[in-house]
Amino acid sequence: MLTSYLPVVLGLLILYSFVMGRRRIRVAADAQAVRPHSQFGYYGLYVALWCGLPALIVVLAWLMFGPVIVDAVVMSSLPDQVTAGLDSAKLGLLEAEIKAIAGGVVFGEPSAAVVAAAERLNSLRGISSTAMFVVVVCVALGAIAYSRRRVAPDFRARNKVERTTFWLMVLCSVIAIVTTVGIVLSLLFESFRFFQLVPFWEFLFGTTWDPQMPIRADQVAAEGAFGALPVLAGTVLISVIAMLVAIPVGLLTAIYLAEYAPGRVRASVKPVVEILAGIPTIVYGFFAVLTVAPWLRQMGAAIGLDVAPNSAMAAGAVMGIMIIPFISSLSDDALHAVPQSLRDGAAALGATRRETIIQVIFPAALPGIVGGILLAVSRAIGETMIVVMAAGLIANATANPFEAVTTVTVQIVTLLIGDTEFDSPKTLAAFALGLMLFVITLGLNLVALTVTKKYRERYE
């Protein structure tokens, strides 16, 4: 198809326009025997930017709105008797069927009108992509022609290029922000729909979580209960266990690496510890389910303790191991950033290494360490795969680490797995849980920022 050549054609055009712009200013400068305002390359860049940017914008716009328009045209061209009496959901199904047929997937025996619509869709798509190619190339050529005429020795190409780069960078940073806002908004809207079905306070402070919705009205356990407290309690319990494992181990690792280890040891140990962070979480999940949980159960049995097969302890401990590198690496960086002069100062007063570390180095590095820990907490709360594999499914508000608990992330996964309808409270509850997670981690990040800022003011 023509469109697949578009990137190549556009790339060549941009390259050509750069070379052309540079040559043109060189010729013009020689002819008038003057020094141009900017270096030659800037004129090339100027023309190249003019060639590339508008074309890129047209491509993006076309990709975004083209299919929508094509679909709308196809749907509106359907005969009235086909669409008569269909609500928006049925229309959506019809549209999906047409698209499937256009893609070559035929279910059953579609009506002639639908087949015709599918053919029309295919031909319109072809026209659209050809048109896009033509329009984009025209835009690029037109922009080259326009910008080419402005290339002259007294034209301030450098300033234009700098200005454009500035706005490009602003645009890129806006993309991240807009995406975040988009995600938050979609969470908010779906959660809002959920809270129309289930009262907000019941969700927040309800103590029963049992999201099975009845299929028949007279079914046993006919009511879904959406009290998030026990789920949240599970997340908190597992995160606390994880942090109890990760904070001491991670911090002591960091202190050893930063203060005691010879440079050679540090250079080899630090990357090895960081490998822990690179192990896929599903592997940790195996480890928790197949190694740690049975081991805990045996140990428990040996001392007469009843340990659930999918205990909070197993999931939390393994999660803690996964998080060690976050804490050790960030704390090590923070400790390392404390100036050597403070160590010398303490040593010159006759402080031992341990006294120096506890009383001088550690407080000075505290903001960085707290930041690392809070980041690790956010990570623990949001961690999914280990708990899906190793923690339980039944919501259980308990503080006993040897019982099975479930977590927010596990519940989101189970709510959204399988055939789901997007208007039942069961499915929408996933968004409410997601929103809750988001609010918690956001809160933690804010706390981390404030703590860091406050201590920085005090310590620098």
Nearer Cβ to other proteins, position 362 or 431?
362
Distance CA 149, CA 143 (A): 10
Q: Are 426 and 198 in contact (CB under 8 A)?
A: no
Q: Which of 189, 345, 394, 420 binds other proteins (CB under 8 A)?
A: 345
Minimum gap (Å) between residue 331 Cβ and other proteins: 17
In angstroms, the first-to-last Cα distance of the chain is 62
Q: Which of 197, 347, 397, 444 binds other proteins (CB under 8 A)?
A: 347
Whole-Å CA distances, 288 to 47, 54, 220, 388? 59, 53, 35, 11
Nearer Cβ to other proteins, position 162 or 355?
355
Q: Which of 11, 248, 339, 443 binds other proteins (CB under 8 A)?
A: 339
Which range of residues in 75-83, 126-134, 338-346, 384-392 is near other proteins by CB under 8 A?
A: 338-346
Minimum gap (Å) between residue 334 Cβ and other proteins: 13
Minimum gap (Å) between residue 445 Cβ and other proteins: 24
Contact between 66 and other proteins by CB under 8 A: the answer reads no
197 φ/ψ angles, rounded to the nearest 5 degrees? -90, -40
Which range of residues in 134-142, 281-289, 321-329, 347-355 is near other proteins by CB under 8 A?
A: 347-355
Work out whether strand 225-226 and strand 209-210 pair parallel, antiparallel, or are unpaired: antiparallel
Mapping DSSP to helix (H, G, I), strand (E, B) and coil, where does residue 311 land?
coil
Which range of residues in 141-149, 221-229, 342-350, 397-405 is near other proteins by CB under 8 A?
A: 342-350
Distance CA 154, CA 167 (A): 23
Distance CA 244, CA 380 (A): 12
Contact between 352 and other proteins by CB under 8 A: the answer reads yes
Contact between 454 and other proteins by CB under 8 A: the answer reads no
Distance CA 414, CA 434 (A): 13
Minimum gap (Å) between residue 360 Cβ and other proteins: 5
Contact between 346 and other proteins by CB under 8 A: the answer reads yes
Distance CA 338, CA 66 (A): 56
Chain positions 363 to 422 lying near other proteins, rule: CB under 8 A, are 363-364
Handedness of CA 93, 98, 99, 104 (dihedral sign): positive
Minimum gap (Å) between residue 392 Cβ and other proteins: 46
Q: Are 97 and 110 in contact (CB under 8 A)?
A: yes
Distance CA 107, CA 92 (A): 16
Minimum gap (Å) between residue 265 Cβ and other proteins: 12
Distance CA 435, CA 18 (A): 48
Minimum gap (Å) between residue 256 Cβ and other proteins: 16
Minimum gap (Å) between residue 336 Cβ and other proteins: 16
Residue positions counted in the chain:
460
Contact between 268 and other proteins by CB under 8 A: the answer reads no
Q: Which of 78, 243, 360, 369 binds other proteins (CB under 8 A)?
A: 360
Minimum gap (Å) between residue 329 Cβ and other proteins: 23
Chain positions 105 to 164 lying near other proteins, rule: CB under 8 A, are none
The residue among 202, 211, 209, 212 whose CA lies nearest residue 230 is 209
Tokens of 418: 């399988």
Which range of residues in 169-177, 223-231, 293-301, 357-365 is near other proteins by CB under 8 A?
A: 357-365
Q: Which of 162, 306, 355, 423 binds other proteins (CB under 8 A)?
A: 355
Nearer Cβ to other proteins, position 152 or 351?
351
Whole-Å CA distances, 45 to 10, 51, 159, 420? 15, 10, 11, 52
Minimum gap (Å) between residue 364 Cβ and other proteins: 5
Distance CA 457, CA 460 (A): 6
How many residues touch other proteins under the rule CB under 8 A: the total is: 22
Contact between 350 and other proteins by CB under 8 A: the answer reads yes
Q: Which of 351, 397, 416, 444 binds other proteins (CB under 8 A)?
A: 351
Q: Are 292 and 389 in contact (CB under 8 A)?
A: no
Minimum gap (Å) between residue 326 Cβ and other proteins: 24
Q: Are 191 and 432 in contact (CB under 8 A)?
A: yes
Nearer Cβ to other proteins, position 43 or 362?
362
Query: In the block, which residue shows the tokens 């025209």?
Result: 138
Which residues of this chain interact with other proteins, rule CB under 8 A?
A: 262, 339, 341-352, 355, 359-360, 363-364, 458-460
